[in-house]
């Protein structure tokens, strides 16, 4: 049974386990500070395929297969996979998972997708005692040309721009077994403080992260210090700074134990990524490669994972619109 507390937080009393997880990244991500953590670093940015979209689809397919294998389950034991990506019509998900023969529910949450998928998978697991999976992916070469400029244009990037990661992460959620456990979740709300700059996603997403974190802490009557780490998806340097400022106004200080996947995945200065990494695959791969193993081992006892999505649309931007954003939260614990 799901127990709601506050506006949109749910306590999962059966505390589903994350029983399998896998990450795949491209070569630039593999050369970053977390390079040795990822399950696969693929040096061929085409993943053996002809087009970028096929490459991203193939990366997702391999990652999902890897996560299911690591869970020890047969594919037929996975009741449904929740997945989506950044490319129009969630192309890479629909084609990447076309032949996998697992029931499928498509989601769209931009870079919040991994948290949304884990939220749905853990709620379905909690309610049915079956196994579910969550996955997402992003690819520098598909995303940049869709959302910003043709790659061959060689456009100059602004200091606030983030680098869309070529990365994918997938996880399998099963009825309570061993840590990591998912013990509660918060569904986010769309928020829009008026950012129009498609090269400043961090600023567009920070208010959504602040709203969701505040909502979780208030709903559960908890304080930031209770958690070993509070992990945001991909706010990058600009967005993280804004998040601190927004939370400070409400007397919430997360500066001591906050980490941001977008700031972790690259060596920001040496790898010339400006404000950090981004893309659905950024937080998904960092969660699966870096954080989940540490929660499993007990090095991290209790963490919040808040993936943020900029619900940006080139068509809306061309019509003068600002960028709405959303953030969903998952609490992941070693002990319940």
Choices 37-45, 87-95, 220-228, 249-257; region in contact with a second copy by CB under 8 A:
87-95
The binder of a second copy chosen from 27, 88, 158, 297 (CB under 8 A): 88
Q: Which is nearer to a second copy, 239 or 324 (CB)?
A: 324
Q: Rounded to the nearest whole angstrom, what is the least distance from the CB of residue 127 to a second copy in the complex?
A: 4
199 exposed, middle or buried (CB, 10 Å; 0-12, 13-18, 19+)? middle
Q: Report which secondary-structure segment, H or E, holds 327.
A: strand 325-333
Determine contact, residues 39/254, Cβ cutoff 8 Å.
Answer: no
Select the residue interacting with a second copy from 40, 46, 102, 198 (CB under 8 A): 102
- For residue 126, state whether it binds a second copy (rule: CB under 8 A): yes
Q: Are 327 and 211 in contact (CB under 8 A)?
A: yes
Stretch that binds a second copy, among 38-46, 107-115, 272-280, 297-305 (CB under 8 A): 107-115
Binding-site string for a second copy from residue 38 to residue 57, where x marks contact by CB under 8 A and - marks none: ------------xx-xx---
Does 151 help bind a second copy (rule: CB under 8 A)? Answer: no
C-alpha 213/C-alpha 70 separation (Å) is 31
Is residue 311 a contact point for a second copy (CB under 8 A)? yes
How many residues of this chain interact with a second copy, rule: CB under 8 A?
Answer: 59
């060596």: which residue's tokens? 267
> What minimum distance in Å lies between the beta carbon of 228 and a second copy?
27
Residue partners of 230: CB distance under 8 A and separation at least 6: 213, 224, 254, 257, 258, 259, 303, 304, 306
Does 281 engage in binding with a second copy (CB under 8 A)?
no
Residue 314: CB minimum distance to a second copy, A: 7
Q: Is 2 near a second copy (CB under 8 A)? A: yes
Report the nearest approach of a second copy to the CB of residue 82 (Å): 9
Report CA dihedral (27, 151, 325, 91) to the nearest 10 degrees.
Answer: -80
Angle at 139 between CA 323 and CA 81, to 5 degrees: 85
* Binding of a second copy by 315 (CB under 8 A): yes
Rounded CA separation 216/134 (Å): 22
* Residue partners of 285: CB distance under 8 A and separation at least 6: 23, 24, 25, 29, 38, 165, 167, 168, 169, 265
Site for a second copy in 184-223 (CB under 8 A): 187-190, 192
Contacts with a second copy, residue ranges (CB under 8 A): 1-4, 7-8, 10, 50-51, 53-54, 79-80, 84, 87-91, 94-95, 97-98, 100-110, 116, 119-120, 123-124, 126-128, 130, 187-190, 192, 311-316, 319, 321, 324, 326, 328
């Amino acid at each position: 049974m799901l127990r709601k507390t506050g506006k949109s937080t749910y306590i999962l009393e059966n505390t589903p386990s994350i029983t399998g997880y896998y990450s795949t990244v491209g070569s630039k991500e593999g050369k970053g500070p977390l390079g040795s953590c990822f399950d696969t670093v693929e040096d061929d940015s085409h993943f053996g395929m002809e087009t970028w979209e096929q490459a991203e689809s193939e990366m997702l397919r391999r990652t999902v297969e890897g996560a299911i294998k690591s869970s020890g389950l047969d594919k037929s034991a996975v009741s449904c996979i929740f997945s989506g990506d950044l490319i129009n019509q969630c192309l890479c998900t629909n084609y990447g998972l076309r032949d996998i023969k697992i029931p499928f529910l498509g989601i769209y949450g931009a870079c919040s997708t991994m948290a949304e998928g884990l939220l749905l998978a853990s709620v379905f697991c909690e309610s049915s005692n079956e196994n579910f999976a969550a996955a997402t992916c992003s690819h520098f070469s598909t995303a940049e040309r869709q959302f910003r400029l043709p790659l061959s244009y060689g456009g100059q990037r602004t200091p606030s721009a983030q680098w869309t990661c070529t990365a994918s992460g997938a996880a399998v959620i099963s009825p309570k077994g061993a840590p990591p456990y998912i013990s509660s979740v918060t569904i986010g709300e769309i928020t829009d403080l008026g950012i129009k700059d498609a090269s400043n996603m961090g600023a567009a997403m920070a208010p959504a992260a602040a709203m969701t974190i505040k909502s979780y802490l208030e709903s559960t009557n908890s304080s930031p210090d209770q958690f070993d780490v509070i992990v945001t998806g991909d706010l990058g340097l600009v967005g993280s700074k804004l998040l601190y400022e927004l939370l400070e106004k409400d007397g919430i200080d997360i500066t001591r134990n906050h980490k941001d996947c977008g700031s972790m995945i690259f060596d920001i200065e040496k790898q010339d990524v400006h404000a950090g990494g981004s893309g659905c695959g950024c937080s998904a791969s960092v969660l699966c490669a870096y954080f989940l193993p540490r929660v499993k081992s007990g090095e991290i006892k209790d963490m919040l994972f808040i993936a943020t999505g900029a619900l940006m649309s080139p068509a809306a931007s061309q019509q003068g619109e600002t960028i709405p954003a959303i953030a969903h939260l998952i609490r992941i614990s070693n002990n319940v």
